[in-house]
Amino acid sequence: MRPQKINPINANQKMNWFQKFLMICSGGNIHILRKTPSEWNKFAGIGGIVLFTAVFATLSAGYAMFTVFDDAWISVGFAMLWGLMIFNLDRYIVSSIKKTGTWWNQILMAIPRLILAAFLGIIISKPLELKIFEKEVNKQLNTIIQRNKTQLQAEMNSRILQQSGPFETEKKQIQTKIGDYQKAYDSAAVELEKEILGKQSGLTSGKVGFGTNAKRKSELKEQRRHDLEDYQKSMAPRLKYLDQEISKVYTNIETERNKTETFEDRFNGFAARLQALDELGKSSAIIGLAASFILGLFICLEISPVLVKLISSVGPYDYLLDKTENDFRLYAKEKMEKGNAGTDWRIDDFKENLPK
């Protein structure tokens, strides 16, 4: 009696559509997986992680794009594109891990894939962190906006002083000179009044009435008045010009400040929110710790399929995959050797038929 041949493949089990979908997500060869039912749960689990990572990436990209474009349709379109790209990339990373070779070779093969997966986890987590801490981020954004406006006002004041400084200096010199003329006129008027009233001083005669000294002081007063009026008249156009230039400086800088403040009020884009989140993490230990845990969660989620593939033992799927690939290698090698042999035969035949 012949011994029965043992067939390790159980063809009676059938996978349902959901298992099949998750296995496709895992990047496994579905034809080989059909022959290895014991591997279905492992690959379905890996596919589920890849699928949910793509879902989180879609939500993350959608929120990030909405803060940039403020348009739902653009955000949804880009989010779907980004999610599909992450899904395909994760699927490739997992499927490229082979359980053949030594443990050290598998580690070396997995390291760049782990680094890439961790980087993807960071990218996916940041927009979701912004959404989770949205209220705190909005409050910090207002603080940043007010701080920027205060800094902007200080810069504008500095520019006003710098640009209007020469005009202000010249105007002040003219006004000082006018003040000197005014003081000289006032002094002459006071001396004339004292002379007429007969008040004794070093510059008056002490006699009451409009005498010779009073007449001379009256002429001096008129001269001072003429000097004042002539100077004011001659400097009036220059003062008007200086006032216009100073007014232009204030108007231009005020217009620029209003425009800049308008931009500052719209300081709520993606980069601004990242800045606010970073400042929150530095100023609040609790928020910083929570953000670190969220980041670590997504990094673990992203690298977990690679780790599962790496730490799992070699299974039937790996044996069949290795056999399939080896069959193709042998088939290709056989074809190449047959082709080379045919070429060698044709060359030898050609040499034999050459005329001697």
Distance separating alpha carbons of residues 44 and 18, to the nearest angstrom: 9
Distance separating alpha carbons of residues 56 and 68, to the nearest angstrom: 19
Determine contact, residues 167/242, Cβ cutoff 8 Å. yes
Q: Is residue 8 part of a domain?
A: no
Question: How many structural domains is the chain composed of?
Answer: 2
Distance separating alpha carbons of residues 200 and 184, to the nearest angstrom: 20
Residues 252 and 287 in one domain: no
Determine contact, residues 194/230, Cβ cutoff 8 Å. no
Residues 42 and 128 in one domain: yes
Residues 242 and 310 in one domain: no
pLDDT at 6: 45
Integer angstrom CA distances of residue 132 from 60, 159, 257, 287 = 11, 41, 34, 11
Q: Which of 76, 52, 26, 73 is nearest to 124 (CA)?
A: 52
Determine contact, residues 59/82, Cβ cutoff 8 Å. no
Residues 224 and 257 in one domain: yes
pLDDT at 354: 63
Residues 247 and 195 in one domain: yes
Q: Is residue 338 part of a domain?
A: no
Burial class (CB in 10 A: 0-12, 13-18, 19+), 213: middle
Q: Is residue 165 part of a domain?
A: yes
Residues 261 and 293 in one domain: no
Q: Is residue 354 part of a domain?
A: no
Distance separating alpha carbons of residues 41 and 85, to the nearest angstrom: 25
Residues 111 and 162 in one domain: no
Determine contact, residues 270/137, Cβ cutoff 8 Å. no
Q: Which of 39, 49, 36 is nearest to 10 (CA)?
A: 36
The pTM assigned to this predicted structure is 0.57
Residues 259 and 295 in one domain: no
Residues 165 and 207 in one domain: yes
pLDDT at 81: 92
Q: Is residue 144 part of a domain?
A: no
Residues 197 and 94 in one domain: no
pLDDT at 351: 66
pLDDT at 80: 92
pLDDT at 144: 83
Q: Which of 44, 52, 42, 54 is nearest to 99 (CA)?
A: 42
Q: Is residue 341 part of a domain?
A: no
pLDDT < 50 positions in the chain: 1-6, 11
The tokens for 77 are 């379109």
Residues 260 and 290 in one domain: no
Q: Is residue 184 part of a domain?
A: yes
Residues 259 and 298 in one domain: no
Q: Is residue 340 part of a domain?
A: no
Range of the domain at 250: 157-266
Q: Which of 46, 90, 51 is nearest to 317 (CA)?
A: 46
Q: What is the 3-state secondary structure (H, E, C) of the chain?
A: CCCCCCCCCCCCCCCCHHHHHHHHHHCCCHHHHCCCHHHHHHHHHHHHHHHHHHHHHHHHHHHHHHHHHCCHHHHHHHHHHHHHHHHHHHHHHHHCCCCCCCHHHHHHHHHHHHHHHHHHHHHHHHHHHHHHCHHHHHHHHHHHHHHHHHHHHHHHHHHHHHHHHHHHHHHHHHHHHHHHHHHHHHHHHHHHHHHHHCCCCCCCCCCCCCCHHHHHHHHHHHHHHHHHHHHHHHHHHHHHHHHHHHHHHHHHHHHHHHHHHHHHHCCCCHHHHHHHHHHHHHHCHHHHHHHHHHHHHHHHHHHHHHHHHHHCCCCHHHHHHHHHHHHHHHHHHHHHHHHHHHHHHHHHHHHHCCCC
